[in-house]
Amino acid sequence: MKAAGTGTATASLAAVPAGESLLAFMASDGSSGGGQTATVSGGGLTWTRVQRENAQLGDSEIWTASVASAMPGVAVTSTLGQKYGQQLEVLALSGAGGAGASAVAAAAKGASSVSLTTKAAGSLSFAVGNDWDANTARTLGAGQTMLAETQASSGDDYWVQMTTSAAAAAGQNVTLSDTAPTGDRWNLAAVEVVPGTVSPPPPDTTPPTVGITNPTASETVSGKISVAANASDNVAVASVQFLLDGSTLGAPVSTPPYAVPWDTTTASNGAHTLSAIATDTSGNTATATSVPVTVQNPPPAMTCFVLQASVSAHGHGSVTTSAFGTVAPGEVLLAFVGSDGPSGAGKQSVTVSGGGLTWKLVKRANGQSGDAEVWTATAASPLSGVTVTSTPLKSGYDQDLTVVAYEGAAGVGASAAASTKGVPPSVSLTTTAPSNAVSLVFAVGEDFTSATSHTPVAGQVTLDQWLDNGTGDTYWSQYTNTPAATGTKVTMADTAPTADQSNFVAIELIGDAA
């Protein structure tokens, strides 16, 4: 059972039979001064620390306890000496003979690795690690499986891995290792669990999910565009490889937002297909449904709503996008922001800036805890290598920022906001475009209750989504994939989740008049 928290983390196990052995694997962040430690307790049991490794910043520890009598449930808590983020993974092992050999290792740079010499045949070995430098998913060495991994919003990675095959004999050297990343500092603690009989948890056979989000099916594309995808997995996504007509497009992308640039002038005019292959940390793969597009260079006569830039970024505190550019004078930029914040209505807001532009707030929703906002700016001349930053009023919270730039747009029209609890997110507006123009409608939301994927209603597609497992929030944006005529009532909504509290803002982007 995995749990995460700041300062303390509690993992709850269901009924535990007599004679089982409990193992608690803790990995944590820590101050730049070092010295992080943890204490594990719970269930009225006697917990013993097997190993601690904190030679590098952060901490990795293994604790164990024995269950003498059957228990209806056990809540296990890890308490840190320094109040930082952590991951706690607790296993209940039937028929285990307890801890055998153990070892620790740490390094300021390089692929993580630790070795031990087994004390019994038939044993399995486990390791817990923390990476203080980056929240990059681990690539496991051969013969190992990932039990739990948290890519924390603080920029740390915490994980637990184990051998998939039992040791053949006592005295065998067993190495638990990762082949990537290779440039980070890490702590790693390992333990051998000797028989009784230890059954490894089932291997992760659940494939990830992946879908192309930009461009949309049957779109005509020209010049330089961004090809983007959403990808998720029950453990962790290791990489997304984009495909053009079945061949690789750019290098694999290992962290969200999953996107690569595509210079369409390098492809022939006519029909092409875009797809992507997502790979998780256990090696399972999934392929996105192919999206047909038509390449036309030079571009066709101007039509409204040509997406010329789309960038997303998320993190802790102020968030800044990667550098991007636009191609034509007068492009309209929209910034969609979802932010965590203090508990209670009206306690969080943000300010958007950057690119040498004058940014204006369109709409804000913060009637529930957290905040959702839309800002806009117009680029009088093409931009090159600019970034956009969202700065929260209350620092110390996570947020997600997505910026799009549209050619062929005349500006922002109607807007609406809603803050709800116990119902699916929903907000309506009536379009105000001139009679000779059409509109797209966008929405951005922040779910304070849970890190749960939001599903737009039919006719709407996800622009960006971040499941923030570190804080238990979800930040997402979506839009209509069909332009609407003036005077149309448009309801931006999700079908799931259905019972969370959320802030939700919808805005109209008006196209150039025909």
Domain count, the chain: 3
What pLDDT score does 213 carry? 87
- Shared domain check, 45 and 181: yes
Asked if 133 contacts 185 with a C-beta cutoff of 8 angstroms, the reply is yes
Residue-wise pLDDT for 409-463, tens only, equals 999 999 999 999 999 999 999 999 998 889 999 999 999 999 999 999 988 989 9
- Shared domain check, 228 and 332: no
- Taking residues 389-396, report their average pLDDT: 96
Task: Calculate the average pLDDT of the chain.
Answer: 92
Residue-wise pLDDT for 315-351, tens only, equals 999 999 999 998 888 999 999 999 999 999 999 999 9
How far lies 459's CA from each of 478, 480, 482, in Å? Answer: 10, 6, 7
- Shared domain check, 213 and 126: no
- Taking residues 25-29, report their average pLDDT: 96
What does the CA dihedral 468, 469, 473, 476 come to, rounded to 10 degrees?
Answer: 40
Residue 278 belongs to some domain of the structure: yes
- Taking residues 391-402, report their average pLDDT: 96
- Shared domain check, 171 and 27: yes
Q: Which of 514, 437, 440, 511 is nearest to 479 (CA)?
A: 440
- Shared domain check, 434 and 411: yes
Which among 146, 162, 195 is the end of a domain?
195
pTM: 0.47
CATH value at residue 257: 2.60.40.10
Residue 149 belongs to some domain of the structure: yes
Q: Which of 475, 478, 426, 422 is nearest to 451 (CA)?
A: 475
Residue 230: how many other CB atoms lie within 10 Å: 23
Residue in this structure with the two tokens 């993992």, named with its chain if needed: 11
- Shared domain check, 149 and 72: yes
pLDDT higher for 301 or 435? Answer: 435
- Shared domain check, 452 and 429: yes
pLDDT confidence tier of residue 493, bands split at 50, 70 and 90: very high
Determine phi and psi for 265, rounding to 5 degrees: -70, -15
Tokens of 265: 């002038």
Q: Which strands make up the sheet holding 371-379, listed edge to edge?
A: 306-316, 398-407, 331-339, 371-379, 360-365
CA 165 to chain centroid: 31
What pLDDT score does 198 carry? 44
Cα–Cα distance, 510 to 514 (Å, whole number): 12
Q: If residue 431 lies in a helix (H) or strand (E), which one and from where to where?
A: none
Residue 187 belongs to some domain of the structure: yes
CA 174 to chain centroid: 32
Which among 300, 325, 359 is the end of a domain?
300
- Shared domain check, 407 and 287: no
Residue 103 belongs to some domain of the structure: yes
Tokens of 381: 């001349």
Domain coverage including residue 288: 205-300
Residue-wise pLDDT for 65-92, tens only, equals 999 888 888 999 999 999 999 999 999 8
- DSSP letter for 326, please: -
Residue 349 belongs to some domain of the structure: yes
* In the predicted structure, residue 35 carries a pLDDT above the cut 80: yes
- Shared domain check, 339 and 265: no
- Shared domain check, 244 and 383: no
How far lies 86's CA from each of 27, 57, 487, in Å? Answer: 6, 13, 51
* In the predicted structure, residue 298 carries a pLDDT above the cut 90: no
Residue 200 belongs to some domain of the structure: no
- Taking residues 241-258, report their average pLDDT: 94
Residue 18: how many other CB atoms lie within 10 Å: 10
Residue-wise pLDDT for 99-123, tens only, equals 999 999 999 999 999 999 999 998 9
Q: Please tell me the least confidently modeled range out of 17-26, 105-114, 194-203.
A: 194-203
Cα–Cα distance, 378 to 450 (Å, whole number): 35
- Shared domain check, 254 and 375: no
What pLDDT score does 481 carry? 81
Query: In the chain, pLDDT over 70 holds for what percent of residues?
Result: 97
- Shared domain check, 478 and 382: yes
Which among 149, 172, 195 is the end of a domain?
195
Q: Cα 158–41–201 angle (5° rounding)?
A: 50
Residue 263 belongs to some domain of the structure: yes
| Furthest C-alpha separation in the chain | 81
Asked if 455 contacts 496 with a C-beta cutoff of 8 angstroms, the reply is yes
Residue 484: how many other CB atoms lie within 10 Å: 17
